[in-house]
Amino acid sequence: MELIKLIYVSTVSDAFSLSSVDEILVAAQRNNGEKGITGILYYNHKYFMQYLEGDKQEVELIYKRILEDNRHYNVLLLDKSALDERRFGCWSMAYLLQSEILKTLNFYFMDSPEFNPYRLDAQSANELITELRSHLPLAYLHSDALSKTYR
Ligand code: FAD
C-alpha cells in the first residue's frame, strides 16, 4: 500500500442544507470504512477543510467523487503527499464544527478571527490538522474503536 495524505479546502454552496453534514458523514463513514480511508472534516458553516489519508489509489478515487459534489465549490488542494504513519487511524471520518475554543486557532494560523482556510498553505494546514486532532474526544482512544484501527 502506498500511504498518502490529502488536504483540501472548499466553500459551502447553495445546494448545502441543514441535513447535509449528517448525510456527508454517514456516506463518508460507510465508504471510507470500506476503503480504509481515515481523516477529519472541519466545518464552520461557510468553509470546509478535509484531511484524508489512506492508500493513494483509494484516496484519489474518493477525492474525485468529492470534487464532483455540488454541496461545495471552489475546491483548493493544499497538500497531497506521502505519509509514513496515519494520524487518524481510529476515525473513518472524524468531524469538528468550529467552536469558540477552536476560534483561537484562527488567529494563530490565519491571522484573523475568522476561519478562512484559503489563507493556509500546505505546512500551516498540516499544523492546524494536528491541533484539531488534539481536540477530538479522547474517549475514542479508549473505546472499541481501537479494535477497528487502520494501519
Ligand atoms: P449515498 O448514500 O448515495 O448519498 C448519501 C446522501 O447524500 C444521500 O442523502 C444523497 O441524496 C446525498 N448526496 C449524495 N451526493 C450528493 C450530491 N452530489 N449533492 C447533494 N446530495 C448528495 N464521501 C465519502 O465517501 N467520503 C468522504 O470523506 C467524503 N467527504 C466529503 C466532504 C465534503 C466537504 C463533501 C461536500 C462531500 C463529501 N463526501 C464524502 C460525499 C461525496 O461527495 C459523495 O456524496 C458520497 O461519497 C456519495 O457516496 P454514496 O454514493 O455512498 O452516497
Predicted TM-score of the model (pTM):
0.90
Q: What would the pLDDT profile of 13-49 be if each residue is shown by its tens digit?
A: 999 998 999 999 999 989 999 999 999 999 999 999 9
Q: What would the pLDDT profile of 87-107 be if each residue is shown by its tens digit?
A: 998 888 899 888 888 888 998
Please give the full DSSP string across the chain, using - where no structure is assigned: --EEEEEEEEEE-TT--TTHHHHHHHHHHHHHHHHT-EEEEEE-SSEEEEEEEEEHHHHHHHHHHHHT-TTEEEEEEEEEEE-SS-S-TT-SSEEEE--HHHHHHHHHHHSSSS--GGG--HHHHHHHHHHHHTTS-GGGGGSGGGGG---
Q: So what's the pLDDT on residue 100?
A: 85
Give 52's strand partners. Answer: 6, 39
Mean pLDDT of the 58-79 span: 98
Mean pLDDT of the 117-122 span: 96
- Could you tell me if the CB of 92 is within 6 A of ligand 1? no
Q: 10 Å Cβ neighbour count for 53?
A: 25
Is the pLDDT higher at 99 or at 86? 86
Q: 10 Å Cβ neighbour count for 19?
A: 8
Cα 77 to ligand 1 centroid, rounded to whole Å:
18
The closest residue, in CA terms, to atom 9 on ligand 1 is: 23
The closest residue, in CA terms, to atom 28 on ligand 1 is: 28
- Could you tell me if the CB of 48 is within 6 A of ligand 1? yes
* pLDDT over 60 at 143, yes or no: no
Mean pLDDT of the 79-92 span: 93
The closest residue, in CA terms, to atom 1 on ligand 1 is: 27
- Could you tell me if the CB of 93 is within 6 A of ligand 1? yes
Cα 35 to ligand 1 centroid, rounded to whole Å:
15
The closest residue, in CA terms, to atom 51 on ligand 1 is: 27
Cα 136 to ligand 1 centroid, rounded to whole Å:
23
